[in-house]
Structure 1
Amino acid sequence: MRAIALMVRALSGVNWLVGNVFSWLALGIVAVCFTVVVQRYVFSTTQVWMQDLYVWLNGAMFTAVAGYALLRDDHVRVDIFYRPASLQRKALIDLIGVFIFLIPFCWVVFIYGLPFVQRSWRIWEGSPNWGGMPGYWVLKTFILVFVAVVFIQGLAMVGRSILVLAGKQDLLPDYLRYGHGRE
């Protein structure tokens, strides 16, 4: 059981780090968007690559922090049954949800996204907008980053559920336990 707890900590730690690093892109998004607005309305000019940049930063941030949002239980869920449930029932719901919904979803996104990303890398795809940013393949790669961070957090959820169902939730730090945060 200690190995499972260690795995949950390690996988959740990856998403904690990625989430905290990529959440800083929000500041860059605001700065670039503000600059584009000032250019357009004060100087009557615009740079297409800057418009691409804030859209791309937004896409990169939201795909990269998806696992972090899952770690923090910030995803939207219909919790008519989940919120009032006991810890064991929540663990069972999460365990079933990961295997029935999350892992197949990750698989489908990976299978359909991989050729899309590979093609983009193969042709060094740039912006579809004239005068836009080069390196569109970097943004498309975040499709696979999304799959990776959500999948590893799903594995962490499985481990956490196993620990709870085995009565070993105490092996996890407080921030990884049920009852922490919004639950």
Structure 2
Amino acid sequence: MQSAAPLVQFVDAFNDGLAKLISWFTLFMVVVMLLIVVLRYGFDLGWIAMQESVMYLHAAVFLLGCAHTLRSNEHVRVDVFYRRFTPAKQAKVDIFGGLFFLMPVNVFIFVVSLDYVSVSWKIMESSQEAGGIPGVFILKSFILLFAATMVLQGLSEILKNLIKLTDKTASEAGSKS
């Protein structure tokens, strides 16, 4: 099972790096929003593309940050029973949830969104608003990136939990002999 460690490290490092990048998006989004308000109410100026850029940044932050949230175990969960479980039981619950909920849902999202996103790329879909961002296809691509990063991080979490279980089992077997 230790042979999976390089994959786990790569996926975790990738999602950590992505999280650091998108954390800057949050700051940039605040600055752009401040500019929109100051220009609009202070100078009676406004640009649709600037307003849409906030939406793009917002989508990127949430869709591309989900995998890091999963990695950090900061996602929403109902801990009524889980927190009382032993680490081994928690690992089993996490493996079950990953295999039977997280993976199928994200594979479904990816498969169902593939045509939606590819058509947008084929026609180079742009904003319906005059002066909007001519890159709606990029915005829609975040859906596929979300599903892909979630599947990869889900796989990483499943492997980490399997490693926990097998290491625990191996150490228990070693102490019994």
Report the TM-score when normalising by structure 2.
Answer: 0.91
RMSD over aligned CA atoms reads 1.4
Q: Which residue does 2:102 correspond to in 1?
A: 102
Q: Which residue does 2:123 correspond to in 1?
A: 123
Inter-partner Cα distance in structure 2 for 1:84 and 1:63: 31
The residue type paired with residue 118 of structure 1 is: S
Inter-partner Cα distance in structure 2 for 1:147 and 1:13: 18
Deviation sequence 1:80-120 (CA, Å, 0-9, x none): 11122111011001100011101111111111111110011
Q: Contact (CA 8 Å) 2:64, 2:149: kept in 1 or not? A: yes
Q: Greater Rg, structure 1 or structure 2?
A: 2
Inter-partner Cα distance in structure 2 for 1:5 and 1:15: 15
Inter-partner Cα distance in structure 1 for 2:163 and 2:114: 33
Q: Contact (CA 8 Å) 1:7, 1:159: kept in 2 or not? A: no
Inter-partner Cα distance in structure 2 for 1:106 and 1:156: 14
More helix by share: 2
Q: Contact (CA 8 Å) 2:2, 2:163: kept in 1 or not? A: no
Q: Which residue does 1:17 correspond to in 2?
A: 17
Unaligned runs of 5+ in 1: 170-183
Unaligned runs of 5+ in 2: 170-177
Which stretches of structure 1, 4 residues or more, deviate above 3 A after TM superposition? Answer: none
Q: Contact (CA 8 Å) 1:12, 1:153: kept in 2 or not? A: yes
The residue type paired with residue 13 of structure 2 is: G
Q: Contact (CA 8 Å) 1:124, 1:135: kept in 2 or not? A: yes
Q: Which residue does 1:155 correspond to in 2?
A: 155
Inter-partner Cα distance in structure 2 for 1:20 and 1:128: 32
Inter-partner Cα distance in structure 1 for 2:168 and 2:13: 19
Report the TM-score when normalising by structure 1.
Answer: 0.88
Inter-partner Cα distance in structure 2 for 1:130 and 1:97: 45
Deviation sequence 1:26-68 (CA, Å, 0-9, x none): 0110011001011111112211110000111110121111111
Inter-partner Cα distance in structure 2 for 1:101 and 1:53: 33
Q: Contact (CA 8 Å) 2:102, 2:154: kept in 1 or not? A: yes
Q: Which residue does 1:166 correspond to in 2?
A: 166
How much does 1:20 deviate?
1.3
Counterparts of residues 68-147 of structure 1 (less than 5 Å): 68-147=68-147
